[in-house]
């Protein structure tokens, strides 16, 4: 009888542990000390199944424009982070966060990214 009660307790606990393991494998947390060259933009995400959240702090001397490129293609502005400013921004499933350095000074952001693991990341010339 004691063994049956112990099994009743262990089975849900094992199922919960498995669920947490699957969740952590699917969702990731990333910390990045990102530098963006003058006239360049950094693209994070795009075509992912889930939404992503970016907590950004501008630790450099250049302002950075934060935009969202939707899955359908349009690009729209979400915020401008001046030196010392911080913001937490949400990006929809399939959208990309586009971080633009339109200045002539190298930009530096401290980023914490939460969402789907294995996001696309690239640097490109400013559009």
Segment 65-80, tens digit of pLDDT: 999 999 888 999 999 9
Residue 117 pLDDT grade (very low, low, confident, very high; cuts 50, 70, 90): low
Per-residue confidence (pLDDT) for residue 100, from 0 to 100 = 97
**Cβ contact 102:126 at 8 Å:** yes
Contact 60, 31 (CB under 8 A): no
Over 90: is that where the pLDDT of 124 sits?
no
Q: What is the pLDDT of residue 36?
A: 95
Give the torsion through C-alpha atoms of 84, 67, 46, 23, to 10 deg. Answer: 50
* Bridge partner residues of 125 (DSSP): 40
CA 106 to chain centre: 21
In the block, which residue shows the tokens 């919960």? Answer: 16
Q: Is the pLDDT of residue 27 over 70?
A: no
Alpha-carbon distance 63 to 47, whole Å? 27
Sign of CA dihedral 91, 95, 97, 101: negative
Q: Which domains does the chain have, with CATH numbers?
A: 28-125 (2.60.120.10)
Sign of CA dihedral 97, 77, 89, 69: negative
Confidence (pTM) = 0.76
Decide: helix, strand or coil at residue 123.
strand
pLDDT in tens, 93-102: 999 999 999 9
Please give the Cα distance from 8 to 43 (Å, whole number).
48
User: Is the pLDDT score of 21 beyond 80?
Assistant: no
pLDDT at 25: 38
């Amino acid at each position: 009888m004691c063994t049956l009660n112990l099994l009743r307790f262990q089975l849900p606990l094992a199922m919960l542990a498995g669920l947490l393991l699957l969740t952590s494998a699917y969702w990731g947390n990333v910390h990045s000390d990102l530098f963006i060259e003058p006239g360049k933009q950094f693209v994070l995400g795009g075509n992912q199944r889930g939404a992503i959240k970016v907590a950004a702090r501008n630790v450099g001397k250049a302002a950075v424009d934060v935009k969202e490129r939707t899955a359908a293609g349009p690009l729209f502005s979400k915020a401008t982070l001046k030196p010392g400013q911080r913001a937490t921004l949400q990006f929809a499933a399939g959208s990309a966060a586009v971080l633009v350095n339109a200045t002539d000074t190298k930009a530096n952001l401290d980023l914490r990214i939460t969402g789907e693991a294995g996001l696309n990341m690239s640097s490109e010339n400013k559009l």
